[in-house]
A and B are shown apart, each in its own frame.
Chain A
Amino acid sequence: MIKQPIYLDYSATTPVDPRVAEQMIPYLTEKFGNPASRSHEFGWEAERAVEEAREQVARLVNADPREIIWTSGATESNNLAIKGAAHFYKGKGKHLVTVMTEHKAVIDTMRHLESEGFEVTYLMPETNGLVDMEKFTAALRPDTILASVMLVNNEIGVIQDIASLGEVCRAKGVLFHVDAAQATGKVTIDLAKLKVDLMSFSAHKTYGPKGIGALYVQRKPRVRLEAQMHGGGHERGLRSGTLATHQIVGMGEAFRIAHEEMATENERIRYLRDRLYQGLSQIEEAHVNGDMEQRVPHNLNISFNFVEGESLIMAIRELAVSSGSACTSASLEPSYVLRALGRSDELAHSSIRFTIGRFTTEEEIDFAIDLVKAKIGRLREMSPLWDMFKEGVDLSTVQWAAH
């Protein structure tokens, strides 16, 4: 008997790996010192732990530990990177570039900067979710300060070619920020080679605790930021606030495990994802969203045409998955990411994101396939759109009464 509900939402968050939790606990109780305390062993002990974790994080992405700044998570890292650079370099220009499929932490930060008088270009990705190099290059102007492109998309899992995008930025003297929250432990990141100036990380997407993240701030060439949080001058003045030692230790251990195990883990996860894909693609009118090759093995985002996403989620309550249909919120707007790919509203409303992780089993995948197949059948029996499709009606030619 499989334990239910089955968790297939690893891109929302991951459980803390038990090995990580074990490392964290002593720093809540006996090793409770403030890493900023310079005058006694409690402080020194905590500082050593923080610096070891900094090395562990740096090692996963091949950076210098001095380039890692602790934050509360990728949202804060994105805010610090984008606002911090925009404010510091505003004398150089007031233009920024990003992509419509970025996470809200980037999109909304950009929107905020627009209200401060900056100008932002939001690039439309190709229908496979990837950024076109020529369009990206064309968007960079002499007054562009910074471009921000995520490494792995949270909804559709596609991997942007940040190596090439970084080359273009460097050649044009534009700072390049990359949100890598969904990428650590999934794709190899070599910051010694990549022309990336700023990169955001999160612990809880990689089996670490929530509430901790980091920002990579390149030293050579040096990138300057205006701090967004003022106080005791922690983290070289870039981010004040007492360091959360236990969280930091957890992130370090989580990234250490990712560094050591990602090769074998990704192979196993790819096998499970491909098995899920094989099973679900037997369903008629099932469409994968986003490129299938340039994609992390953990993600399968698939639209089941003529079935509304929320009712499908309700039908497959034994699975913890998420939907691109936002009927659960007040907006009734389908996923802006899928819409940016040019997906029709009905396909966007019909999408389910399955994300697989460290603790997913083959048994769970097989259960999920059988369940989804059965429930899609039942809901299509109930769907007037399915009937029309079967009768050969082209739904795009129907005059709907928009409501």
Chain B
Amino acid sequence: MSYSTKVLDHYENPRNVGTFGKDDEGVATGMVGAPACGDVMKLQIKVNKDGVIEDAKFKTYGCGSAIASSSLVTEWVKGKTLDEALTIKNTQIAEELALPPVKIHCSVLAEDAIKAAVADYKAKHGAMVETAACKGSDCSN
């Protein structure tokens, strides 16, 4: 399979790989996917007092497109409020990285990771929110 230049770039030079300290303030984590499906994404966001995501980090087990999708969303969520981050759609990720149809699920997973991280933040900080993270997305698409 041939990869787009953007996928290759994110894969060769992934942005924001890592993990925040356990005791860092304002950190929330979204972990989506399953090893059995061949991909697991962990997205962490660091939210400041104004509700803006000031930093993000990721770790991903998965194919090149999964790594590139998660690397890309760490860049995109930075500087956004939680609600703004939730507007990022998988189609935008897929388009930006020129993902082929068999790799669309990677972008779906990245969108789910954002939702899961935001939900984790809101849960930790009292706001009750529903999350559909990971549920209902399809392994075969």
Residues on A close to B: CB < 8 A?
306-308, 310-311, 314, 325, 327-332, 334, 344-346, 349, 381-387, 395, 400-403
Contact = CB atoms under 8 A, between A and B. Distances in A.
B56 interface: no
A384 B59 contact: yes
B59 A382 contact: yes
A307 B133 contact: no
B139 A384 contact: no
Interface residues of B, number: 39
A383 B140 contact: no
Interface of B: 1, 3, 11, 14, 17, 19, 31-42, 59-64, 66-67, 101-102, 105, 108-109, 112, 133-135, 137-140
A346 B36 contact: yes
A383 B59 contact: yes
Given A384-B42, A401-B34, A310 B135 contact: no
A382 B101 CA distance: 25
A347 to B, nearest CB: 9
A376 to B, nearest CB: 13
Contact of B39 (A308, A314, A386): A308
Contact of A400 (B34, B59, B109): B34
A393 to B, nearest CB: 12
A375 to B, nearest CB: 11
10 contacts: A308-B38, A308-B62, A327-B63, A330-B101, A345-B38, A383-B59, A385-B35, A387-B19, A403-B32, A403-B33
A383 B36 CA distance: 15
Given A314-B64, A383-B61, A332 B14 contact: no
A382 B14 contact: yes
Nearest to A331: B140
Given A385-B35, A386-B61, A403-B138, 16 more contacts: A306-B61, A308-B61, A310-B63, A311-B63, A311-B64, A314-B63, A327-B38, A382-B14, A382-B59, A382-B61, A384-B60, A400-B33, A401-B32, A403-B105, A403-B108, A403-B109
A384 B61 contact: yes
A402 B60 contact: no
A349 B62 CA distance: 9
B40 A384 contact: yes
B31 A332 contact: no
Main secondary structure of the interface of B (DSSP, over half): mixed
A402 B63 contact: no
A285 to B, nearest CB: 13
Given A311-B62, A311-B63, A381-B17, A328 B35 contact: no
A387 B39 CA distance: 15
A403 B134 CA distance: 6
B64 A401 contact: no
7 A-B pairs with least C-beta separation: A400-B34, A345-B36, A346-B35, A401-B134, A384-B42, A310-B63, A384-B59
B29 to A, nearest CB: 10
Contacts of B39: 308
A314 B11 contact: yes
A334 B59 contact: no
Nearest to B36: A345
Nearest to A386: B61
A392 to B, nearest CB: 15
Contact of A382 (B31, B34, B36, B60): B60
Given A314-B11, A383-B60, A401-B33, A325 B38 contact: yes
Contacts of A402: 34, 36-37, 139
Contacts of A344: 35-36
A91 to B, nearest CB: 42
A308 to B, nearest CB: 5
A334 B139 CA distance: 13
B19 A332 contact: no
B35 A400 contact: yes
A308 B41 CA distance: 12
A403 B38 contact: no
A402 B140 CA distance: 12
